[in-house]
A and B are shown apart, each in its own frame.
Chain A
Amino acid sequence: MGCRLCEVYCLVQHSRTKNIIKAYKGEYPKPQPRLIVEEKGHISFALQCRHCEDAPCLEACITGAMYRDKNTAAILCEENKCVGCWMCIMVCPFGVIGRNREGKKVISKCDLCIGAETPVCVKNCPNEAIIHEERK
């Protein structure tokens, strides 16, 4: 329905304060949502990293910053290693890797909400349109 609640929850989850007002108004660098909501007419959907099995971003990464978490199989980026070369942005067919716009020159992507039992976009979608399931 294009409510963009996932975007709000995602941004807050990836903020320092975890407080919606402060996250939007008082933090520098300003946190970014790690997902994209696409909308056209009556269709809308939230799009985040697919954590592909055959992930092109892993192969394209020149620093080794992009890696697959051994426990969760999520594709994560080690920000200390990332130099912001944007090779991953060039090869991601979903266009779900972004640049960190303020602060460090690193990429910004879905991390499946590290530590949380369920990603916040999934948990808070009023329409249960976003699902998270493990496949092998």
Chain B
Amino acid sequence: MNYVIIGNGPSAISAVRAIREVDLRSKLTIISDEPYLNYSRPLISYLLSKRIEKDKMPFCQENFYEENQVQLILNKRAKSLDVKEKNIILSHKERIPFDRLLIATGGAPIIPEFRGRDLFGIFTFTKLQDAEEIARYIRYNKVKEAVVVGGGLIGLKAAEAIIELKIKVTIVELADRILAATFDKNASSVIEVALEKIGGNLLTNNTAVEIKSKDKRVSEVILRDKKRIRAELVIVAIGVRPEIEVVKGTSIKTNKGILVNNFMQTNIKDIYAAGDCCEAKDSLLGINRPIPIWPVAASQGKVAGYNMAGVKREYSGSFTMNSIELCGIPTISVGQTYPQKKGYEVLEYFDKDKPIYKRIVLKNNRIVGAIFLGDIERAGIYTGLIKDRVDAGSFKEHLLKEDFGLIILPKEYRKHLVTGTGIEV
């Protein structure tokens, strides 16, 4: 068997581990368009703010590839696929044959239309190279003011990092509040206040329409409402999309991402996809869609790896969740945090001064979403209750109380948690 994986992120690494658990002998190749062994993309904001050094970027050990006998093809982009001949075509028409392929190409930043896109000083913020180029640009151009377009997770992490570098930052968000995709209004407002406290300037209901330059370098951002903001640096972070260039023009079915079944298999028998590039099962919403977060990528990669190696494993699905700390406030948001339809019940605890905010969203007595802000202790128990669709009717009044813990959960659920390995509680 000849396995090839396009991509070198968490789903690729998990797939390698799964394949090697089953098959120690077959050839296994990773193709990555980046020059590095491996690194954690969520850490780039830590790198930019100098909270961590570059040597902390890898998420698996240097000897991982050697230990798992992985052939590495780095710094080369898989351009397209010859599905019939089972070949991957790299730049310069180089062909790499495969028997079973995993496409784990991740996501790519969405770049909106605005005048001045090609100027120096405009960056996206998803890759290690972005962080390094931004750091270099700041140094050489003595950047004092910056604009971040997009008040989502990536934009805010970028803004926070730049503020830590003593640069004045304006965040421009199209929606009426930041983190609108994962937070409700209360949670957004807490972070908005905290951001402004550390010096971030926040403009909502607005966006950049033009970027002006001086000597081909960014000098000013013009917003939709005609407001002008001086800036020598612009970071565009309005979202990511599945990176599916490689399957364009092939018979592999796609929507926004590559379509896969519950075995992470595409419509072509020996071609699999996992991670941010694919649309797999969202167990909460009951549809297939991209869920571009680290734990989901890792778990999909594992399932794909097992199936590629001939061990049947079904993906049980996942749902959106994230943990980010902003301005020193830890936050965790899971599932449907802000449903707009009727039929949901919401429990809340809000202490603005501390600040602590907790929000639980239920539907038919089952938790479908939660936000924890300021106090995230034991948040995973709620995630587990969402995942396992536990009827919370009998313990609903304890959900936001001090005494919340496994002890208030039904005994059968506690038992379910510890079946297999582990000790009964």
Tell me if B325 counts as interface (CB < 8 A to partner A).
yes
- Docked pose: A84 CA to B322 CA in angstroms: 13
Do A64 and B61 touch (CB < 8 A)?
Answer: yes
Do A84 and B380 touch (CB < 8 A)?
Answer: no
Q: Which of B248-256, B266-274, B416-424 contacts A (4 or more CB under 8 A)?
A: B416-424
Contact pattern, A 23-53, Cβ under 8 Å of B = 1, otherwise 0: 0000000000000101110011101001111
- Docked pose: A95 CA to B380 CA in angstroms: 5
Tell me if A74 counts as interface (CB < 8 A to partner B).
no
Do A89 and B56 touch (CB < 8 A)?
Answer: no
Do B323 and A87 touch (CB < 8 A)?
Answer: yes
Do B376 and A86 touch (CB < 8 A)?
Answer: yes
Do A50 and B325 touch (CB < 8 A)?
Answer: no
Tell me if A5 counts as interface (CB < 8 A to partner B).
no
Tell me if B410 counts as interface (CB < 8 A to partner A).
no
Do A64 and B60 touch (CB < 8 A)?
Answer: yes
Do B295 and A56 touch (CB < 8 A)?
Answer: yes
Tell me if B321 counts as interface (CB < 8 A to partner A).
yes
Contact pattern, A 82-124, Cβ under 8 Å of B = 1, otherwise 0: 0111111111111101110000000000000000000000000
- Docked pose: A39 CA to B40 CA in angstroms: 39
By size class, the interface of chain A is 35 or more
Q: Select one of A38, A88, A97 contacting B407, CB under 8 A.
A: A38
Do A62 and B294 touch (CB < 8 A)?
Answer: yes
Do B325 and A84 touch (CB < 8 A)?
Answer: yes
Q: Cβ of A88: which chain B residues have Cβ within 8 Å of it?
A: 380
- Docked pose: A88 CA to B377 CA in angstroms: 11
Distance (Å) between the CB of B100 and the closest chain A CB?
Answer: 22
Tell me if B65 counts as interface (CB < 8 A to partner A).
no
Do B383 and A93 touch (CB < 8 A)?
Answer: yes
Interface centre among A43, A94, A98 (most CB of B within 10 A): A94
Contact pattern, B 379-422, Cβ under 8 Å of A = 1, otherwise 0: 11101100100000000000000010111100000000110111
Distance (Å) between the CB of B96 and the closest chain A CB?
Answer: 27
Distance (Å) between the CB of A37 and the closest chain B CB?
Answer: 10
Q: How many residues of B contact A (CB 8 A)?
A: 47
Q: Cβ of A36: which chain B residues have Cβ within 8 Å of it?
A: 405
Q: Select one of B298, B387, B406, B423 contacting A38, CB under 8 A.
A: B406
State the majority secondary structure of interface residues on A: loop
State the majority secondary structure of interface residues on B: mixed
- Docked pose: A59 CA to B59 CA in angstroms: 11
Q: Cβ of B347: which chain A residues have Cβ within 8 Å of it?
A: none
Do B407 and A40 touch (CB < 8 A)?
Answer: yes
Q: Select one of A50, A59, A86, A98 contacting B323, CB under 8 A.
A: A86
Chain A residue with Cβ nearest B321: A90
Known: A62-B43, A95-B379. Contact between A90 and B334, CB under 8 A? yes
Q: Cβ of B423: which chain A residues have Cβ within 8 Å of it?
A: 50, 131, 133
Q: Cβ of B330: which chain A residues have Cβ within 8 Å of it?
A: 86, 99
Contact pattern, B 154-187, Cβ under 8 Å of A = 1, otherwise 0: 0000000000000000000000000000000000
Tell me if A63 counts as interface (CB < 8 A to partner B).
yes
Q: Select one of B14, B52, B299, B380 contacting A89, CB under 8 A.
A: B380
Tell me if A22 counts as interface (CB < 8 A to partner B).
no
Do B405 and A95 touch (CB < 8 A)?
Answer: yes
Do B380 and A50 touch (CB < 8 A)?
Answer: no
Distance (Å) between the CB of A102 and the closest chain B CB?
Answer: 14
Do B376 and A47 touch (CB < 8 A)?
Answer: no
- Docked pose: A133 CA to B421 CA in angstroms: 10
Tell me if A60 counts as interface (CB < 8 A to partner B).
yes
Do B295 and A60 touch (CB < 8 A)?
Answer: yes
Do B58 and A64 touch (CB < 8 A)?
Answer: yes
- Docked pose: A77 CA to B254 CA in angstroms: 39
- Docked pose: A63 CA to B61 CA in angstroms: 11
Do B383 and A63 touch (CB < 8 A)?
Answer: no
Q: Cβ of B61: which chain A residues have Cβ within 8 Å of it?
A: 64
Known: A61-B59, A93-B383, A93-B384. Contact between A39 and B407, CB under 8 A? yes
Distance (Å) between the CB of B319 and the closest chain A CB?
Answer: 12
Known: A38-B407, A47-B425. Contact between A98 and B377, CB under 8 A? yes
- Docked pose: A131 CA to B423 CA in angstroms: 8
Q: Select one of A61, A84, A87, A95 contacting B406, CB under 8 A.
A: A95
- 6 of the cross-chain contacts (CB-CB < 8 Å) are A62-B43, A83-B51, A90-B322, A90-B323, A92-B380, A135-B421
Q: In the complex, given contacts A36-B405, A131-B423, what are 9 additional A-B residue pairs having Cβ atoms less than 8 angstroms apart?
A: A39-B407, A40-B403, A45-B425, A63-B56, A83-B51, A89-B378, A90-B321, A90-B323, A94-B417
What 10 A-B pairs are tightest by C-beta distance, nearest first?
Answer: A93-B384, A95-B378, A64-B59, A92-B380, A50-B422, A60-B295, A59-B298, A38-B407, A95-B381, A38-B405
Chain A residues close to B by CB (< 8 Å) = 36, 38-40, 43-45, 47, 50-53, 56, 59-64, 80-81, 83-95, 97-99, 131, 133, 135
